[in-house]
A = this chain, B = another copy of it.
């Protein structure tokens, strides 16, 4: 949405700096990027950055908070329409891939900074990140409550889901000629369903033959 507004018309300096920082940090990494480069990309003077951000680190932190917060809002909205666990899982995969695909630079920055040992940055973004983790775990938890998923360790399940999505995104980001991330939605979803041993919800037949299940899998991939 930020990018669109920018393309269309007026964008506040705050947003322009944030967007510039996203591009710059994605290209060479936070520490490699001089503030002057961000300023240049944003079309403002170096000093102007400091009218909007206390220092370079706050620029990074705000960037992550704003954008991740955006992502979470988006994800939560999409999830609210999902009736079944399968729909929820598909929404997570689709939304994750779609958001990252449309915000490639952000994807690069986020993936990197999430791994940095800097406590300051970590704690600043832990809010949105933990919320995302909760969202995923809630979906699994709900599946368990609905008897669509056997009892499994929530944390491990979340690690699998988030880790896989993140790794797929990393592959896409690193590849020179990546195929669209969105083409990976169904294959990944199929693996998730298998991992979580997801059954059809209550109304359906409980006993399915193995053949039947394999057909599902084939249909998905």
Binding site for B on A (CB under 8 A): 26-29, 31-32, 108, 111-112, 114-118, 122, 150-153, 155-157, 159-160, 162-168, 170-171, 174, 184, 187-188, 190-192, 194-197, 207-210, 213-214, 217-218, 221
Contacts and interface: CB of A to CB of B under 8 A. Distances in A.
Contacts of A166: 163, 167
| Copies of this subunit | 4
Contacts of A196: 191, 194
B184 A156 contact: yes
A167 B111 CA distance: 11
Contact of A32 (B31, B167, B210): B31
Given A27-B117, A116-B29, A191-B152, A168 B159 contact: yes
A71 B117 CA distance: 22
B153 A159 contact: no
14 contacts: A28-B118, A29-B31, A29-B116, A29-B118, A31-B31, A112-B115, A115-B115, A115-B170, A151-B221, A155-B171, A159-B188, A160-B191, A163-B165, A166-B167
A196 to B, nearest CB: 7
A71 to B, nearest CB: 17
A7 B71 CA distance: 47
Contact of A116 (B112, B152, B160, B167): B112
Contacts of A164: 159-160, 163-164
B152 A221 contact: yes
Contact of A208 (B26, B156, B210): B210
Contacts of A150: 214, 217-218, 221
Most B Cβ at <10 Å: residue of A32, A116, A160, A184 = A160
Contacts of A115: 111-112, 115, 170
